[in-house]
């Protein structure tokens, strides 16, 4: 499908933005951002699905090669402490497009019931803000949000999520554009990795082996020609992670965050070889989407737009990929929460910068960051921060001291040294880990008397953060502030 431009007047005549967005007054085009004589930048936002933060070769991962993603890091900044708002597709994407926490967007209020995005958030959603500032706004690929992509302010140029999407975006970039554009390209992979555990569990339920079938890998993957099993696993598959085992003192409610049977079937039955093959496939699917992103970036350069375009790359959430004998997402472990976040504008952002100091919330910070680079006022009533100063190698006057992430049955607070997680049910509802001394989250300190003061301070900090974000479920995660005996 080739991209087709749609005028603002024609698009609005469709009524796609809804009454709330249509009521927003037309904004005067702002002046160009302070970047020398450059005009307002185009914006290319690239999103993958289920890619954890370390699934980049520029992040030091020796088991895959991601030259397209690496090229963005070469010309810009990579943020190592970037966290999604919620490690699940719909709530995370909703947060990125609205700039509020998923609970504020009423992702799920009672018993997991989904609701449409509140109308009052639509005028401040990403596409609407840029469209009202005079940008051409286009979106291709996976949506998976509780609103239409048109309500979020975009023309939908492709429903494909793979190679066809890459080509459609390349065609869009080659077109003549009278106005600056915001193009969002949302790719599906490495999300295909999900099928490995699901398929294994279904086979076991049918009386077959629940092991990984090397002849039925996800995404059309095949073992290299001549590879023999199990020698291939031993010689070519990534090793198990250091935090492969189940953590000591893990809250029992981890099972309730995502109770689908395949999650704990593979935790209990997969062999080390199964897990290692899963890790190999995850790398190959990441390389697959990197090649598709490469098509888009090559078109950007060929069109002579590289120095006129801000490129931001991220993923909606990560994947546990054998950490704690888990795969998929949902659980508030680091591997599911942390995502890649690259901000690159050649000649403006600091080339090769790696920020491992500042917490970034991709759900809250995406809109303010894009607005800052484009010279557009960020929507009011949002708690996010622009990372532009950081990406340009400047130190802001202040930055957040902690960060909150949500999941259906839990909340987590990340501070400089610790992470505190609380669940809404169970006898042992809390987890406290010292990420400085225990980066793999293998020891729960919540019941350690020596950590009682840290536990109480994190309980209080999380409570304040939930109240500030208007989390409607804050009371479900309240723990009385009493000293641990």
- pLDDT per position as a tens digit, 206-251: 999 999 998 889 999 999 998 988 899 999 999 999 999 999 999 9
Selection from 247, 255, 252 nearest residue 444 by Cα: 247
Mapping DSSP to helix (H, G, I), strand (E, B) and coil, where does residue 397 land?
A: coil
Greatest mean pLDDT among 11-25, 188-202, 470-484:
188-202
385-443: pLDDT as tens digits = 999 999 999 999 899 999 999 998 999 999 999 999 999 988 889 999 999 999 999 99
Q: Which residue has the tokens 């049918």?
A: 206
The mean pLDDT of the chain is 90
Question: How does DSSP assign 223-241, residue by residue?
Answer: PPTT--TTHHHHHHSPPPP
At residue 482, does pLDDT exceed 50?
Answer: no
Residue 113 has a pLDDT of 58
> Mean pLDDT, to the nearest integer, of 89-100?
96
Q: How many CA atoms lie within 13 A of 351 on its CB side?
A: 5
**Helix (H) / strand (E) containing 412:** strand 410-414
253 vs 181, higher pLDDT = 181
Instruction: List, in order of start, the domains of the chain with CATH numbers.
Output: 12-31+39-191+284-391 (3.40.720.10), 403-477 (3.30.1120.10)
Q: Nearest 10 degrees: CA dihedral of 340, 343, 347, 351?
A: -30
Segment 56-60 mean pLDDT? 98
From CA 46, how far away is CA 455, in angstroms rounded? 38
Average pLDDT (72-82) is 98
- Does the structure show a pLDDT above 60 at 91? yes
**Residue range 202-208: mean pLDDT, rounded:** 94
Q: Residues 6 or more apart from 169 whose CB is under 8 A from it?
A: 3, 140, 157, 158, 183, 185, 295, 296, 299
103: enclosing H helix or E strand: none
Six-digit token string for 61: 């991962």
Q: Which pLDDT does position 315 carry in this prediction? A: 98
Give the distance from CA 174 to its chain's centroid.
Answer: 28
In the three-class reduction of DSSP (H, G, I as helix; E, B as strand; rest coil), residue 55 is classed as coil
Residue range 472-481: average pLDDT?
Answer: 80
Q: 183 pairs with which residues across the strands?
A: 44, 138
**First-to-final CA distance of the chain:** 64
∠92-95-96 over CA atoms, to 5°?
A: 90
Distance CA 252, CA 390 (A): 39
Of 296, 386, 311, nearest to 42 (Cα)? 311
Rounded CA gap, 91 and 435, in Å? Answer: 26
Tokens of 470: 């208007």
pLDDT above 90 as % of the chain: 80
User: Taking phi first (over 0 means left), then psi (-120 to 50 degrees means alpha), and beta for anything else, what does residue 18 get?
Assistant: left
Write the CB contacts of 271 (distance below 8 Å, at least 6 apart in sequence).
211
460, pLDDT greater than 60: yes
Q: Is 303 left (phi over 0), alpha (psi -120 to 50) or beta?
A: alpha
Asked if 49 and 218 count as a contact pair (C-beta separation under 8 A), the reply is no
Q: Is residue 8's pLDDT more than 50? A: no
Task: Report the relative pairing of strands 76-79 and 353-355 from DSSP bridges.
Answer: parallel
Average pLDDT rounded to a whole number, residues 77-81: 98
Query: Predicted confidence band at 23 (pLDDT cuts at 50, 70, 90)?
Result: very low
pLDDT band, very low/low/confident/very high, at 26 (cuts 50, 70, 90): very low
């Amino acid at each position: 499908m080739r991209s087709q431009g749609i005028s603002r007047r024609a698009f609005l005549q469709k009524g796609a933005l809804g009454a709330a967005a249509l009521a927003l007054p037309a904004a005067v085009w702002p002046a160009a951002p302070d970047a020398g004589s450059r005009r307002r930048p185009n914006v290319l936002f690239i999103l993958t699905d289920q890619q954890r933060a370390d699934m980049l070769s520029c992040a030091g991962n020796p088991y895959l090669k991601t030259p397209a993603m690496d090229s963005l890091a070469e010309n810009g900044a990579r943020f190592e402490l970037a966290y999604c708002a919620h490690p699940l597709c719909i709530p995370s994407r909703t947060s990125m497009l609205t700039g509020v926490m998923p609970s504020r967007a009423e992702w799920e209020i009672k018993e997991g019931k989904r609701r449409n995005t509140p109308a009052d958030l639509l005028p401040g959603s990403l596409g609407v803000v840029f469209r009202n500032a005079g940008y051409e706004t286009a979106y291709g690929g996976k949506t998976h949000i509780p609103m239409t992509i048109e309500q979020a302010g975009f023309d939908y140029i492709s429903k494909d999520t793979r190679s066809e999407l890459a080509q459609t975006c390349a065609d869009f970039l080659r077109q003549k554009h009278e106005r600056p554009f915001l193009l969002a390209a949302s790719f599906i992979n490495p999300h295909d990795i999900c099928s490995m555990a699901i398929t294994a569990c279904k086979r076991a339920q049918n009386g077959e082996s629940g092991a990984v079938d090397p002849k039925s890998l996800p995404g059309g993957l095949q073992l290299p020609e001549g590879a023999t099993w199990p020698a291939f696993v031993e010689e070519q598959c990534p090793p198990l992670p250091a935090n492969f085992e189940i953590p000591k003192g893990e809250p029992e409610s981890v099972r309730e965050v995502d109770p689908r049977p395949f999650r704990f079937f593979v935790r209990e039955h997969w062999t080390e070889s199964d897990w290692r093959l899963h890790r190999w496939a995850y790398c190959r699917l990441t390389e697959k989407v990197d090649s598709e992103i490469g098509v888009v970036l090559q078109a950007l350069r060929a069109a002579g737009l590289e120095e006129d375009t801000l490129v931001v790359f991220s993923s909606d959430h990560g994947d546990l990929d054998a950490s704690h004998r888990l795969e998929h997402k949902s659980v508030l472990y680091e591997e599911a929460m942390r995502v890649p976040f690259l901000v690159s504008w050649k000649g403006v952002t600091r080339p090769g910068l790696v920020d491992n100091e500042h917490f970034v919330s991709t759900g809250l910070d995406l809109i303010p960051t894009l607005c800052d680079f484009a010279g557009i006022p960020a929507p009011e009533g949002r708690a996010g921060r622009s990372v532009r100063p950081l990406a340009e190698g400047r130190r802001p006057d202040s930055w957040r001291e902690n960060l909150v992430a949500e999941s259906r049955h839990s909340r987590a607070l990340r501070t400089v040294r610790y992470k505190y997680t609380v669940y809404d049910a169970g006898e042992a509802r809390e987890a406290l880990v010292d990420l400085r001394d225990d980066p793999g989250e293998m020891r729960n300190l919540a019941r350690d008397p020596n950590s009682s003061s840290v536990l109480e301070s994190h309980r209080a900090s999380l409570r304040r953060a939930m109240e500030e974000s208007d989390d409607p479920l804050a009371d479900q995660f309240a723990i009385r502030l009493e000293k641990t005996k």
